[in-house]
Structure 1
Amino acid sequence: MISITEWQKLGVGITGFGIFFILFGILLYFDSVLLAFGNRHKLKGTSFFLGGVVIVLLRWPLLGMFLESYGFFSLFKGFFPMAFGFLGTTFDIPFLSALFRRLQGTSSMV
């Protein structure tokens, strides 16, 4: 018989909890009521994005990628100002500001 240590039992338990919560999250993600509730005000962006995927699969890649891009920007247009605002404040973070100053000084072409 194989002896199992306490650390291995703990690892199996934590892994089991992780797998359970991943599967539970996937089930909640595909719940039709939650999807309809979350995407009701983003129906235009979702339809353009999924329509672009279908058009790409029907071998019209340029048009499909254009529709996907429009759908992507339409879906995440509320997120972009927050992301750009965060990028603007990265110079205030001590470690990153030192890294940016170091990288800025080494960009010469000579």
Structure 2
Amino acid sequence: MFEITDTQKIGVGLAGFGITFLFLGVLLLFDKGLLAIGNILFISGLGCVIGPRRTFCFFFQRHKIKGSISFISGIIIVLIGWPIVGMIFETYGFILLFSGFLPVAINFIRRIPVLGTLLNMAIISRILDMLAGDSNRTRV
């Protein structure tokens, strides 16, 4: 078993608050203040969890540079004051950055009892299969 440091615990809290603020900012019709706070908390939480150097290396890998530029420019656009346009850029960059992790996350969520039933419905399942890139998934 591995040990979690205090900095990583703080990072998980910061990232959790960041996601919460982002969700509330979208829910409250793209409130630019909540979105800006959420972005800052999420990025600083990520930096605390995996470390500043690994965070920098993650965002500036050669094959992820397009997603990084889109994600960071989306954050800057939100901070400038255009939240809807910024969130579109951020979402595109987030999908490009974390697309390798998306199939794993979707398959994990499909195994959760209540969410799995919802995600295995015909229409939602097809959409998630397209997002995950898993067109040959066996249905049970």
Give the TM-score taking structure 2 as reference length: 0.41
Mapping 1:4-83, distance limit 5 Å: 18-19=5-6, 26=48, 29-31=51-53, 34-39=54-59, 40=61, 41-83=63-105
Gaps of 5+ in 1: 1-16, 101-110
Distance 1:84 1:21 in 2: 25
- Return the offset for 1:79: 1.3
Question: 1:19 offset after TM fit, Å?
Answer: 4.0
Question: 1:7 — aligned with what?
Answer: none
Taking structure 1 as the reference length, what is the TM-score of the superposition?
Answer: 0.51
Aligned-residue CA RMSD in angstroms? 3.2
Q: Which runs of 5 or more residues in structure 2 are unaligned?
A: 11-46, 118-140
Change (3 A) 1:69 1:21: closer
Identity of matched residues, % = 34
Aligned-pair distance for 1:20?
A: 7.2
Paired with 1:71 and 1:45, the residues of 2 have a C-alpha distance of 4
1:86 equivalent to 2:108? Answer yes
What is the number of residues matched between the two proteins?
74
